Chain A
Amino acid sequence: MIDTLILPLFKNGFLSPEANMFFALIMGIVFGFVLERTGFTRAQHIADAFYFRNLAVPKIMGSTVVVASTWMIIFSWFGWIDLNLLFTPSTYIWPYVVGGLLFGAGMVIAGYCPGTAVAGLGTGKSDALVFLLGVFAGMFLYFILYPFIATFASSTNLGVVKLHDLFGGNEYTSYLLTVALESGIILFMMLLQKLTRKGTK
Chain B
Amino acid sequence: MNKHNHNSNGYWNPYVGGIVLGTMLFLTFAIASQGFGASGTFSRMTAQFLVDSDKSWLSNAYIASYFRHGDNALLNWTVIETFGILIGGFVSALLAGRFVFKADKAPSYPLSKRFFWAFIGGMIVAVATRLARGCTSGQGLDGMATFSVGAWIFMFTTFASALILSPLFKRQWNDEGEKS
In the complex, which residue of chain B has the Cβ closest to the Cβ of A49? Answer: B162
In the complex, which residue of chain B has the Cβ closest to the Cβ of A132? Answer: B122
**A65 CA to B146 CA, complexed, in Å:** 9
Complex interface: chain B residues within 8 A of A134 (CB): 118-123, 125-126
Complex interface: chain A residues within 8 A of B177 (CB): 44, 48, 51, 53-54, 200
**A200 CA to B14 CA, complexed, in Å:** 13
Measured as residues with beta carbon below 8 angstroms from the partner, the interface class of chain A is 35 or more
**A30 CA to B70 CA, complexed, in Å:** 29
Complex interface: chain B residues within 8 A of A61 (CB): 18, 136, 140-141
Q: Which of A88, A98, A116 contacts B142 (CB 8 A)?
A: A88
Q: Which of A107, A132, A135, A178 contacts B158 (CB 8 A)?
A: A107
Q: Which of B46, B85, B125, B150 contacts A143 (CB 8 A)?
A: B46
**A188 CA to B144 CA, complexed, in Å:** 19
- Minimum CB–CB distance from A91 to chain B (whole Å) comes to 3
A16 CB-CB contact with B under 8 Å: no
Q: Which of A8, A64, A120, A140 contacts B89 (CB 8 A)?
A: A120
- Minimum CB–CB distance from B100 to chain A (whole Å) comes to 5
In the complex, the answer to whether A20 meets B32 with C-beta atoms within 8 Å is yes
**A31 CA to B128 CA, complexed, in Å:** 23
Complex interface: chain B residues within 8 A of A140 (CB): 46, 50
Pairs A-B, 10 closest by C-beta atoms = A28-B84, A134-B122, A110-B121, A32-B88, A67-B22, A63-B18, A138-B126, A100-B157, A122-B89, A99-B132
- A residues lining the B interface (CB < 8 Å): 7-11, 15, 20-21, 23-39, 41-45, 47-48, 50-51, 53-56, 59-72, 75, 81, 83, 85-93, 95-128, 130-143, 145-147, 150, 153, 158, 160-166, 171, 174-175, 177-178, 181-182, 200-201
Please name 30 pairs of A and B residues whose Cβ atoms are closer than 8 Å in the assembled complex, sorted by A.
A10-B31, A23-B32, A24-B78, A28-B88, A30-B88, A33-B92, A35-B92, A39-B12, A41-B93, A48-B178, A54-B179, A60-B17, A64-B145, A72-B29, A87-B146, A95-B133, A97-B157, A101-B160, A109-B165, A113-B136, A114-B137, A122-B85, A124-B93, A132-B42, A134-B123, A136-B45, A138-B122, A162-B149, A174-B147, A201-B179
